[in-house]
Amino acid sequence: MTLDERSAAAARMAAIGTTAHFDRRLALYDVAASHAHVTMLLKQRIVPPDAAAGLHRGLDELAGLIRSGADPLDPDAEDVHTAVEEYLEQRIGADAGWLGTARARNDLAVTALRLWLRDQVTALRARVLDLTEALLVQGERHAATVMPGFSHLQVAQPISFGHVCLAYAETFLRDAERLSLVHALQDESPMGSGALAGTGFPVDRDSVARTLGFGRPTANSLESVGDRGFALDFLSAGASVALNLSRFGAEIVYWSSQPVGLISLPDELVSSSSALPHKRNPDAAELMRAKSGRVLGNLHALQTVVKGLPLSYFRDLQEDKEPLFDTADTLALSLDAAVSLATLMRPDVDAMRRAADIGFVTSGDLADWLTRERQIPFREAHHLVAKLVRRCGERGCSLAELPLEARRGIDPRLAFAEWPDIGVEESVASRDSQGGTAPGRVREAAAELRGRLAEFRARPAYRGITANEAGETR
């Protein structure tokens, strides 16, 4: 092997193996974990007091620089954790070597990632709750606003716009619950696991876990350093959020299209066509829908990385961070757009009412009425109304206008004088079962949801050490 070949191989290894250019966003979390570790080492008399004091000063200085916007870490370091140690060596000299006592990059890296992820979950959950609130407000405002309810994109039954908004509000509140579960399932600190087998030093893992805001240390050092289940939990919950954002975006694109025209969007959330001045393209909703693909892909990417890995740490796990970072960033952007869409979309009440009142839209209500008032079994009633609809189509009349004799020709049980004329508003009002679209039920559901949302916001958060507190963990 020539010298040039060796040099090229070294450069290529650096290119494929270096992560500091993207995992530097974990720097403050590395600092937080390192502060807690040094504090524990000092209390356990594992490191000298002077060395511990120097390490704390160096970590404080580094945290201050990062928070000020400075970039003091070497971007060419192998990873952010190496870059932090190199910085400390430059600032405090040989005492920086004490920092690696009773720990390894394996347990440090996964701890920093858990700390970062906890902050992301907290921030994203708050955004999801804001979206739920925005949809709830629309639901309260439009409990009695009649619109078509679609099935297969065909008008199926009249419903209220408030009912639709509450449907999405319920969907996103469940996503907030999923994110809370991610928080709960990763409430353990890997620090003290070492490379894979623990450490021979008399460490106090409980104190480090408490300092970092975890409920307890992880139970098994070997499992801890290679576990990325918590990351997959986050990506899975994020995929659910993204899927539901995509569905909501698709709904808005459809509602706001010119042939449909059920809602309007403000200029700030649409774009004009470069060639067709009359167009108002719902770009925010379309992009929100499209970005779900990135989030779904990130979940699949990490699943593929970990699917064949035995226990302990492998370099494959270097690939865990970019899918997580991208998912967190993409969801934050998409949720912000969704909050604006949910807040600022305006239903065209008259257009919704007209669109709901198509021919025979209350045929299902008539079948229900025949079962309820004339004691005709529902399946029979359904078939009879289908025949009535066909007959009305042939005669060019509505169900209410079909003469008695014509009804008798279909079935003698339909030959009675008190033939109902069921309107759209009557149809909506009749759907009065719990969770139904009747305005009173929608208002009831909105009040109940507002209570659940308030209870959710009032829950004690899983409180850990955030990046901005990284210099205050001792």
Confidence of residue 472 (pLDDT cuts 50, 70, 90): low
Residue 359: pLDDT over 70: yes
**Alpha carbon distance 290, 276 (integer Å):** 23
Task: Work out the average pLDDT over 338-349.
Answer: 97
The string of pLDDT tens digits covering residues 403-434 is: 999 999 999 999 998 999 999 999 999 999 99
User: What element of type H or E holds 333?
Assistant: helix 321-344
The residue that leads in pLDDT, 472 or 170, is 170
Q: Annotated catalytic sites, by residue?
A: 152, 273
Q: Using the CB atoms, write b or e for 122-153: b if 16+ within 10 Å.
A: bbbbebbbbbbbbbbbbbbebbbbbbbbbeee
Relative to beta strand 154-160, strand 271-272 is unpaired
Residue 12: how many CB atoms within 10 A of its CB? Answer: 10
The string of pLDDT tens digits covering residues 141-194 is: 999 999 999 999 888 999 999 999 999 999 999 999 999 999 999 999 999 999
The string of pLDDT tens digits covering residues 239-283 is: 999 999 999 999 999 999 989 999 999 999 998 777 777 778 899
The string of pLDDT tens digits covering residues 297-318 is: 999 999 999 999 999 988 888 9
The string of pLDDT tens digits covering residues 453-464 is: 999 999 876 555
**Alpha carbon distance 42, 162 (integer Å):** 60
The string of pLDDT tens digits covering residues 61-111 is: 999 999 999 989 988 889 999 999 999 999 999 999 999 999 999 999 999
pLDDT at position 460, please? Answer: 76
Bin 375: left if φ > 0, else alpha if -120 < ψ < 50, else beta.
left
Give all domains of the chain, ordered by start, each with its CATH number: 3-101 (1.10.275.10), 118-141+160-355 (1.20.200.10), 363-422 (1.10.40.30)
Phi, psi angles (nearest 5°) of residue 470 = -65, -25
Task: Work out the average pLDDT over 324-331.
Answer: 97
- What does DSSP assign to residue 459? S
pLDDT at position 120, please? Answer: 96
In the chain, pLDDT over 90 holds for what percent of residues? 82
